[in-house]
């Protein structure tokens, strides 16, 4: 536990508390610190830190920055809908909001470099300045020159500045075609189970012993470790279910040492939690509510329980027709929708690739004409091609039950795909008593 | 006189439309009250939750309400508007509603949110105007909003000490920022994900609450958001009521109401309900259809001046113009009425205007009385038959209503089968149904209905008095069964058959009473549920041109274009264009001629042949001699006209150019005209 971080140039006791606040990341912290060097030394121009979600990347970096009181600018790239926002945040973090205000309306990279130079010449860096870019993968969608430029910003602005990129994906996916300065790669591995226990046990409840909480965490991980290693999620779940775990203790039915009894009490509950609250089928608020007024056994209906959609009559048939058009080869339409289609053998009739199940291949696009032709033949009454039939098609598209293929400004014979599942279409066709399976080529 | 008449009609129509509007709004409010209240409850709950320490520690979950609105998208606007108002009045001034169309990118979405929030801030306080006046594009971030929120929220809590005083606990409450996504499905998933990620970074400073307006099902959320994003939300589902229920209450209030003088004929109801059920599920559109028929009725029927409340109508009759009296004489229902009168009376009715007016007053009174009795009896019959298996008379009251006003209900097969089913009703069911009827009849205030109520109550009393008798009998049956238990199957069958025959012979008192009740119900139906058409002067109140309504509300653009092209007379109303079916008048517009000619071609049309045929028709139009040299030849003018016609055809989508064959165009439509 007491790995002492050693790094000259930083106060000893801060380093000690740092080590204490960043458990299970000692190795990463110490190598990061040694890479950073002493505050006044020039550091390596850019680092790239990657690792799965909730492996402590930003937490470690930001804690180091804050505790050691290093000048830094932390930017989340999701927020930067344009490069300008990124520049602005960096400048205002280093030189105050007045500097950021000097940026022109749509700042380019060179504007940023120019301003940075101008500012840093008046206030040169006494310590290394750090720019931390969280979710750096978003930078790839921005201006293509931005990433290479930031990687060697130190050279460009001639200042003691280091860029730290944080991402969940590997560097290979970043490298631009034209090549660029290679940052130092740095991997944060996933926490092991023991490490998770150690970290989670730290936020134990004041009114219970740490040992009890640790055993609770062990039980929790026993259930969830196989599906979820996200520290944040696990902490959330631990918090949600702890009161249930303590219930026998509160009621005096068990003592803290009766781990087995407590385990028996909580285990089914946790399994239920895995199916509901973990998948966000039930909100955490509702989950807690349910725990409060428990024993009513009112099983909350999750999100996916409300799958039924009420649709107007013709919309149902349009959807069915779209499904048929999407999953039947166009050549089989004669067989299904003409009275005198003649006998067509399945095997001889089709090309090789059509023999595989169409449901495995997914929906295929079809033109509007084919949709309407099938629609008129499946619907049981004569329908006039009214404007509302057409508007129903477009409202099905807005409801995302159909999806339009290609650009939506294609007015001349637009193409669609059906975006609903077989179960859904079976439920829909049952309400209009239409046997959809009889018309599906895959089920012949 | 007629002009004055028109203004009267306009006034009445206006008044009726106002009542329709008011009623629908009231209905909407009542129906949405439950879901809106629970939403407000949800938001308030989270509002306090946010300030509690535990929640802060808990993480960045954003409370989210998934509001299930149903697929009737046109109705959503009204619900969301009232939600918005309710929230602004009772919870927080910071309510934003965004529409997918305006938010194609995260930048635009954030901008929209900021504009709506900060723009409102300006209207509240004049001083702040300069720094929120123009939002710099680059400043358009949530952190800018954060800054603004800090000052605005402080101001709001100070500005409304009243509201604060209402709260019992001293927790400094932070006003939430509610973002309503009006059409969740239409948002691009990427935009939503980014927006949620950004917002979740600021939950500590900025208490966001999202409301997703979802048309399909809550699983739409899971389809659009990956787990990493949906784990940032704390989603609860709220179900708004179904549109069919909504329609039923609108129908109940506006159509099955004797107070509302304007009526729809069975066909019109079928058209309107058909559009609702088959096409859009939109109550808004149903009300629009009602409005259209209202306008059309008052516009086309001069006698609709009598379509108002009873007192007003009676006054109106006295001042009817001679022309209108004549119109009354020509009403089919009035003519039918005249035929049933004595010859003496007939003459009077046909000659004396004054007499007609007197009779009209009487007839109008009768018509109002008919309506007053009709609806309670209709409801009673519905409550009796709605629980029958397979619903022989329809599941909804509107179906029963349609069949009642269309024809003599008692002559239909469905009615017979319903009555048969009613005749085998068990006692407790019958009593329950009759009690429901009594409840309905209590609200009806005509004398006759009071009589009917008395009779119904009498029946209920007698049925309950039977209690002792039947229970004895049934216990007797039980004993017999007990005795026969050990007999074999054959014997059992025999005894059962015997019992069956005995039953047909001797009815028990309950059965006797039940058939009496059924006869009574039957007599009620025959007396009160007569078709509306048979009532004299029914045309005054009933709007019946369903064909027109269908044509106007359920338009068929393609058919209209084809009619216009093949029968130009239909729209142009020019006598020269009148032709026999299948022939082209040479005086028709060029486009029509080209269209007619192209119908005779196959998939590919030779342009030169087409041009020649076109020129021939044109020549006929110019009365050229068929034998002359010039006949059928075309000059540059004709050529130009032809080219224009063809390009118009192309524009309308009937032909398109093709590369398969030179000088040919491909035909795109088949059949038609």
CA of A294 vs chain B CAs: smallest distance (Å) = 19
Q: Do both B251 and B357 map to the same domain?
A: yes
Which helix H or strand E contains A384, and what residues bound it?
Answer: none
- Distance (Å) of CA B300 to CA B87, B271, B313, B542: 45, 19, 18, 12
Strands A366-367 and B263-264: what pairing? Answer: unpaired
Q: Do both B230 and B254 map to the same domain?
A: no
pLDDT < 70 positions in chain B: 1-4, 48-60, 120-139, 157-173, 467-488, 500-507, 580-584, 623-633, 671-673
Residue B614 makes CB contacts below 8 A (sequence gap 6+) with: B590, B593, B594, B597, B634, B638, B642, B645
Domain that holds residue B269: 247-540
Q: Where are the alpha helices (DSSP H) in A206-304?
A: 210-224, 231-251, 259-275, 284-292
Set of chain A residues whose Cβ sits within 8 Å of the Cβ of B239: 306
- Considering only CB atoms, B201 lies closest to which of A76, A107, A304, namely A76
Residues ≥6 apart with Cβ < 8 Å to A131: A72, A73, A75, A90, A150, A153, A161, A162, A163, A164
Cβ distance B233 to A280 less than 8 Å, yes or no, reads: yes
Tokens 């012949």, located at residue: A444
Residue holding tokens 């059965």?
B511
What DSSP designation does B632 have? T
Residue B22 within any structural domain of the chain: no
Radius of gyration of chain A (CA): 31
Q: What are the residue ranges of helices labelled H in A252-386?
A: 259-275, 284-292, 313-327, 333-337, 346-349, 358-361, 368-378
- The H-or-E segment that residue A162 falls in is strand A161-167
Which of A284, A289, A302 should be substituted to probe chain B, the one whose Cβ sees the most B Cβ atoms within 10 Å?
A284
Is A288 in CB contact (< 8 Å) with chain B? no
A-interface mutation test, from B237, B559, B560, most A Cβ less than 10 A away: B237
Chain A residues near residue B197 by CB distance under 8 angstroms: 78
Report CB contact under 8 Å: B223, A233: no
Residue A50, Ramachandran bin (φ over 0: left; ψ between -120 and 50: alpha; else beta): beta
Residue B507 lies in a domain: yes
Domain boundary pick from B225, B241, B257: B241
Tell me if chain B has a CB within 8 Å of the CB of A117. Answer: no
Residue B15 lies in a domain: no
Instruction: Check B73 against A398: CB less than 8 A apart.
Output: yes
Identify whether residues B562 and B532 lie together within a single domain.
Answer: no
Is A82 in Cβ contact with B280 (below 8 Å)? no
Residues of B in contact with A384 (CB under 8 A): 554, 556, 559
Contact criterion met (CB < 8 Å) for B71 and A315: yes
Contacts with B, A 372-391, CB within 8 Å: 384-389, 391
Predicted confidence at residue A201, as pLDDT, reads 86
CB contact under 8 A, A303 and B235: yes
Q: What is the pLDDT of residue B501?
A: 66
Of residues B138, B185, B558, nearest to A400 (C-beta): B185
Q: Hey, are the CB atoms on A384 and B110 less than 8 Å from each other?
A: no
Contact indicator for B590, B644 with CB cutoff of 8 Å: yes
Distances, alpha carbon A49 to alpha carbons A32, A164, A184, in Å: 10, 7, 8
Q: Under an 8 A CB cutoff, do B558 and A385 touch?
A: yes
Tell me the mean pLDDT per 10 residues along chain A, length 444: 64 84 86 86 90 88 89 89 86 85 83 90 85 90 87 89 92 86 90 88 81 87 86 85 82 79 84 78 74 56 72 93 92 80 56 70 90 90 84 89 83 86 91 90 82
Contact A387 B555 (CB under 8 A): yes
Please tell me whether residue B136 adopts helix, strand or coil conformation.
coil
Domain total for chain B? 3
Min distance A386 CA to chain B CA atoms (Å): 4
Same domain flag for B301 and B439: yes
Structure confidence by residue, pLDDT tens digits, B217-264: 888 888 888 888 888 888 888 888 888 888 999 998 888 888 888 989
Q: Which of A87, A234, A388 to mutate to test the interface with B (most CBs of B within 10 A)?
A: A388
Tell whether B529 and B561 lie within a shared domain.
Answer: no
The string of DSSP codes covering B17-55 is: HHHHHHHHHHHHHHHHHHHHHHHHHHHHHHHHHHHSHHH
Is B426 among the domain residues?
yes
Residue B616: give its domain's CATH number.
Answer: 1.10.10.1080
Q: Are B220 and B185 in contact (CB under 8 A)?
A: yes
Q: Are B194 and A88 within 8 A, CB to CB?
A: no
Distance in Å, alpha carbon of B293 to nearest chain A alpha carbon: 19
A309 and B279 in contact by Cβ < 8 A? no
| One domain for residues B585 and B628 | yes
Tell how far CA B441 is from the center of its chain: 28
Q: How far is B250 from chain A (nearest CA, A)?
A: 18
Question: Looking at CA atoms only, how far is residue B197 from chain A in angstroms?
Answer: 7
Could A304 and B107 be called an inter-chain contact, meaning their C-beta atoms sit closer than 8 Å?
A: no
Asked whether residue B407 falls in the same domain as residue B536, the answer is: yes
Mind telling me how many Å the CA of B244 is from chain A's nearest CA? Answer: 10
B415 lies in the same domain as B479: yes
Distance from CA of B628 to the nearest CA of A (A): 45
Per-residue burial over B588-604, b = 16 or more CB atoms within 10 Å of its CB, e = otherwise: bbbbbbbbbbbbebeee
Question: Within a domain: residue B214?
Answer: yes
Using CB atoms and an 8 Å cut-off, which of residues 70-109 of chain A contact chain B? 76, 78-79, 81-82, 84-85, 88, 103, 105-107
Q: Is position B489 within any domain?
A: yes
Asked if residue B550 is part of any domain, the answer here is no
Q: Spell out which residues of chain B touch residue A395, defining contact as CB-CB under 8 Å.
A: 71, 73
A244-252: long-range contacts, CB 8 A cutoff, minimum separation 24? A244/A269, A244/A291, A245/A216, A245/A219, A246/A205, A246/A208, A249/A208
CB pairs under 8 A between A and B: 141
Nearest to A88 among B46, B138, B278 (CB): B138
Asked if B216's CB is within 8 angstroms of A399's CB, the reply is yes
In a mutational test of the A interface, the residue from B219, B658, B668 whose CB has the highest number of chain A CBs within 10 Å is B219
> Are residues B226 and B369 located together in one domain of the fold?
no
Are residues B603 and B460 located together in one domain of the fold? no
Assess whether B57 and B171 both reside in one domain: yes
Give the number of other CB atoms < 10 A from CB of residue B369.
Answer: 15
Residue where a domain stops, chosen among B241, B261, B278: B241
Q: For CA atoms B313, B318, B319, B323, give the dihedral sign.
A: positive
Give this complex's ipTM: 0.89
Going B432 to B435 to B437 to B439, the CA torsion angle's sign is negative
Torsion angle of C-alpha atoms B475, B477, B479, B482, degrees rounded to 10: -130
Q: Which residue among B210, B241, B272 closes a domain?
A: B241
pLDDT confidence of residue B557: 85
Would the CB atoms of A285 and B68 count as touching at under 8 Å? no
In a domain, B32, yes or no: no
Residue B498 sits in the same domain as residue B566: no
Q: B278–A306: do the CB atoms touch at under 8 Å?
A: no
């Amino acid at each position: 536990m007491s790995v002492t971080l050693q790094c000259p140039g930083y106060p000893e006791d801060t380093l000690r508390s740092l080590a204490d606040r960043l458990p299970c990341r000692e190795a990463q912290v110490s190598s990061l610190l040694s890479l950073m060097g002493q505050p006044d030394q020039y550091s390596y121009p850019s680092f790239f830190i990657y690792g799965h979600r909730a492996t402590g990347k930003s937490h470690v970096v930001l804690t180091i920055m804050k505790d050691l009181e290093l000048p830094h600018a932390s930017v989340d790239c999701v927020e930067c809908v344009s490069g300008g926002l990124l520049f602005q945040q960096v400048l205002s973090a280093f030189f105050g909001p007045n500097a950021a205000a000097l940026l022109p309306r749509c700042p380019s990279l060179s504007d940023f470099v120019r301003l940075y130079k101008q500012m840093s010449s008046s206030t040169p860096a006494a310590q290394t300045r750090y720019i931390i870019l969280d979710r750096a993968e978003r930078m790839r969608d921005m201006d293509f020159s931005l990433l290479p430029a930031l990687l060697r910003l130190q050279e460009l602005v001639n200042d003691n500045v280091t860029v730290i990129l944080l991402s969940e994906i590997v560097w290979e996916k970043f490298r631009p075609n034209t090549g660029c300065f290679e940052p130092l790669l740095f991997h944060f591995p996933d926490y092991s189970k023991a490490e998770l226990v150690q970290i989670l046990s730290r936020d134990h409840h004041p009114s219970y012993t740490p040992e009890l909480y640790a055993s609770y965490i062990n039980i929790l991980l026993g259930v969830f470790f196989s599906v979820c290693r996200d520290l944040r999620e696990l902490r959330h779940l631990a918090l949600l279910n702890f009161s249930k775990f303590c219930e026998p203790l509160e009621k005096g039915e068990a003592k803290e040492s009766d781990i087995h009894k407590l385990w028996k009490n909580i285990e089914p509950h946790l399994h239920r939690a895995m199916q509901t609250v973990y998948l966000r089928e039930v909100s955490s608020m509702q989950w807690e509510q349910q725990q409060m007024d428990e024993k009513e056994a009112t099983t909350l209906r999750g999100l996916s329980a409300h799958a039924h959609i009420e649709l107007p009559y013709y919309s149902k048939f349009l959807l069915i027709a779209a499904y048929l058009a999407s999953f039947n080869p166009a050549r089989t339409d004669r067989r299904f929708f003409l009275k005198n289609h003649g006998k067509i053998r399945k095997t001889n009739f089709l090309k090789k690739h059509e023999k595989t199940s169409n449901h495995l291949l997914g929906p295929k696009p079809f033109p509007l004409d084919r949709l309407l032709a099938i629609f008129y033949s499946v619907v049981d009454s004569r329908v006039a091609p009214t404007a509302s039939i057409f508007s129903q098609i477009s409202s099905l598209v807005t409801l995302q039950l159909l999806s339009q293929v290609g650009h939506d400004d294609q007015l001349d014979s637009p193409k669609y795909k059906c975006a609903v599942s077989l179960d859904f279409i079976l439920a829909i066709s049952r309400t209009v008593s239409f046997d959809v399976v009889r018309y599906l080529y895959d089920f012949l | 006189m007629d002009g004055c008449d028109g203004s009267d009609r306009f006034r009445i129509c206006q008044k009726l439309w106002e009542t329709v509007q008011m009623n629908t709004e009231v209905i909407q409010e009542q129906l949405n009250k439950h879901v809106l209240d629970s939403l407000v409850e949800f938001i308030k709950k989270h509002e306090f939750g946010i300030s509690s320490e535990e929640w802060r520690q808990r993480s960045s979950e954003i409370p989210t309400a998934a509001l299930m609105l149903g697929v009737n998208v046109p109705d959503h606007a009204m619900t969301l508007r009232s939600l918005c108002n309710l929230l602004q009045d009772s919870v927080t001034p910071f309510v934003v509603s965004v529409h997918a169309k305006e938010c194609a990118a995260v930048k635009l979405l954030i901008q929209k949110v900021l504009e709506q929030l900060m723009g409102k801030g300006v209207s509240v306080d004049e001083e702040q105007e300069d720094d929120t006046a123009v939002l710099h594009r680059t400043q358009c971030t949530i952190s800018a909003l954060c800054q603004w929120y800090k000052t605005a929220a402080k101001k709001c809590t100070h500005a409304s000490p009243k509201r604060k005083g209402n709260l019992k606990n001293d927790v400094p409450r932070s006003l939430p920022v509610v973002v309503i996504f009006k059409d969740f499905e239409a948002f691009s998933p990427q935009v939503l994900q980014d927006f949620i990620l950004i917002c979740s970074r600021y939950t500590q400073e900025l208490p966001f609450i999202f409301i997703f307006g979802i048309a399909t099902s809550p699983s739409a959320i899971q389809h659009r958001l990956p787990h990493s994003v949906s784990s940032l939300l704390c989603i609860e589902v709220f179900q708004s009521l179904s549109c069919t229920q909504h329609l039923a209450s609108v129908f109940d209030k506006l159509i099955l109401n004797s107070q509302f003088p304007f009526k729809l004929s069975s066909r019109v109801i079928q058209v309107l309900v058909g559009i609702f059920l088959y096409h859009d599920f939109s109550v808004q559109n149903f009300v629009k259809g009602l409005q259209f028929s209202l306008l059309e009725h008052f516009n086309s029927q001069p006698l609709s001046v009598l379509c108002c409340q009873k007192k007003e109508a009676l006054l109106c009759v006295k001042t009817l113009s001679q022309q209108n009296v004549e119109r009354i004489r020509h009403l089919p229902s009035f003519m039918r009425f005249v035929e049933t009168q004595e010859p003496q009376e007939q003459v009077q009715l046909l000659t004396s205007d004054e007499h007609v007016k007197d009779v009209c007053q009487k007839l109008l009174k009768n018509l109002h009385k008919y309506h007053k009795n009709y609806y309670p009896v209709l409801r009673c019959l519905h409550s009796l038959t709605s629980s029958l298996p397979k619903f022989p008379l329809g599941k909804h009251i509107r179906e029963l209503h349609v069949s009642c006003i269309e024809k003599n209900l008692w002559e239909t097969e469905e009615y017979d089968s319903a009555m048969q089913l009613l005749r085998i009703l068990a006692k407790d069911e019958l009593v329950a149904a009759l009690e429901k009827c009594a409840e309905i009849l209590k609200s009806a205030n005509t004398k006759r209905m009071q009589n009917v109520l008395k009779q119904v109550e009498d029946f209920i009393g007698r049925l309950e008095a039977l209690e002792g008798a039947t229970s004895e009998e049934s216990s007797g049956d039980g004993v017999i069964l007990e005795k026969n238990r050990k007999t074999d199957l054959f014997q059992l069958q025999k005894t059962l058959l015997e019992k069956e025959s005995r039953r047909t012979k001797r009815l028990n008192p309950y059965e006797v009473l039940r058939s009496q009740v059924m006869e009574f119900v039957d007599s009620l139906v025959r007396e009160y549920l007569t078709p509306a058409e048979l009532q004299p002067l029914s045309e005054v109140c009933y709007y019946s041109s369903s064909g027109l309504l269908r044509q106007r509300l359920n338009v068929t653009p393609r058919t209209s274009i084809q009619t216009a092209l093949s029968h130009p007379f239909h729209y142009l109303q020019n006598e020269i264009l009148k032709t026999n079916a299948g022939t082209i008048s040479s005086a028709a517009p060029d486009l029509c001629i080209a269209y007619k000619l192209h119908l005779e071609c196959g998939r590919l049309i030779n342009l030169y042949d087409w041009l020649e045929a076109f020129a021939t028709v044109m020549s006929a139009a110019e009365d050229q001699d068929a034998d002359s040299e010039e006949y059928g030849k075309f000059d540059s003018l004709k050529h130009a006209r032809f080219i224009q016609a063809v390009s118009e055809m192309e524009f309308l989508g009937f032909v398109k150019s093709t590369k398969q064959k030179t000088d040919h165009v491909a035909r795109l439509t088949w059949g038609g005209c």
